[in-house]
Chains A and B, each alone.
Chain A
Amino acid sequence: MNAPLLAIEGLNLRRGATHVLHDLTLDIRRGEIVALIGANGAGKSSTLQAISGLLRPLSGRIAFDGPDGAIDLTRLAPEAIVRAGVVHCPEGRQIFRSLTVRENLMMGAYPRTDRENLPAELDRVHELFPILAERAKLAAGSLSGGEQMMLAMGRSLLSKPVLLLLDEPSLGLAPQYIERIFDVIEQLRSQGATILLIEQNAAMALEIADRGYVLEHGRITLTGTGADLARNDEVRRAYLGDLG
């Protein structure tokens, strides 16, 4: 009765000469954190790019049952997809280095029409990441890697996500930042956010996730609850560095 928030069905995607996603099927229910794990080049980022409209699939459907009713995201441009509430926090952070920290945050809020709510939400982002308030007027390129990740997440939050797509938020960060980022993910969940999380750090991702999918060479090979996957022998061997 309760349709999933996002349902991907039979997604096929080509990049250049490579067929990178094969009949990918995956769903995300409201309020869940879903982890997508897989080796380098498995097609995790490509999946997110197809959802956010940066890549056009060959075939398949991406049904999003958002506040504006059910829509097929494969028919929409990225700017319309953000407006519908699907917000993609991309691999490598992709902050605007020459813009100030504040300007980066305001870019997150760019498409919103309810601008009267922005000051309060900006305050909330500053509460989550106080450093962003301190550095508001500095060029974003002057931030450290961890601070840039916080900026990228803060920017995504100001886009008012109904579904947040996070691509390797912990990549290349010092441990204290990783913890901070995962704390925030937990906090977002407790506020009812729905998140699709890609992580290098499969152990942490499965620990925090309600459910997970394993992607191998563009095919989903395993799915289950985070705890089940973390106990699965194959997963342990391939992604959790368990040699036993």
Chain B
Amino acid sequence: MEKQQAAIYLNSVTYRAGEKEILHEITGTFAKGKITSVIGPSGAGKTTLFRLCNGLLSPDSGRIQIDGRDILSLDPISLRRQVGIVLQQATMLEGSVRDNLALPLQLAGEDLSEEEAARIVQEVGLDTDILDRDSKSLSGGQKQKVSIARTLLNRPQILLLDEITSSLDRVSKQDIEKLILQINREYGTTVIWITHNLEQAKAVADQVWVMMTGEVVEAGTADLLDHPEKEAVKQFVKEEEA
């Protein structure tokens, strides 16, 4: 029953880089149509988990299902369009913002219309003037917004957002929070996002995963952060709030 409602289901997923075990037997589900926050200290393996779900990496053992289908049975290209990822670095390709936004469509042999370009930048809270700016000249926050817009243009059913608010000011952070809620409500997109901000994690999520040293130490509804069970999680919450 639970498995059928899973957008992503992980079963005992282990990932190694060389000798080092980066993820250790991760089991869990990301509920379909819900928003899940993933939190945890630096180096916990959060980004690695996302890269596995988007197919940029494959687990050394264990299985991943996307919408009930084994990830290995999906074509990598359609998988990556279905499970969109906004990478932590917000890498921009040389060229204008418009060129960057056109990328996902271009890769599929399509063009980005002017209306679509204007609509998407406004949706992420940017002015349409930005379309002609050189992408390398953008601020960190603007890059993050453009890279969200770029991934959204693939119309993913599942959206993985890796610390996309880290360079944003307070107002922009709130804009992005609203955007996440809006995407989730309007299109029913499953959103999973990594954040270092516990307030955000609680405010904009149905569920929370807490990861530490390659393992999921606690998972449940968002209010688990108010009264964590594990000592390590209590400690982490206390440090983050301080």
Pair from one complex: no
Instruction: Mark B residues whose CB is within 8 Å of A.
Output: none
A residues with a Cβ closer than 8 A to B are none
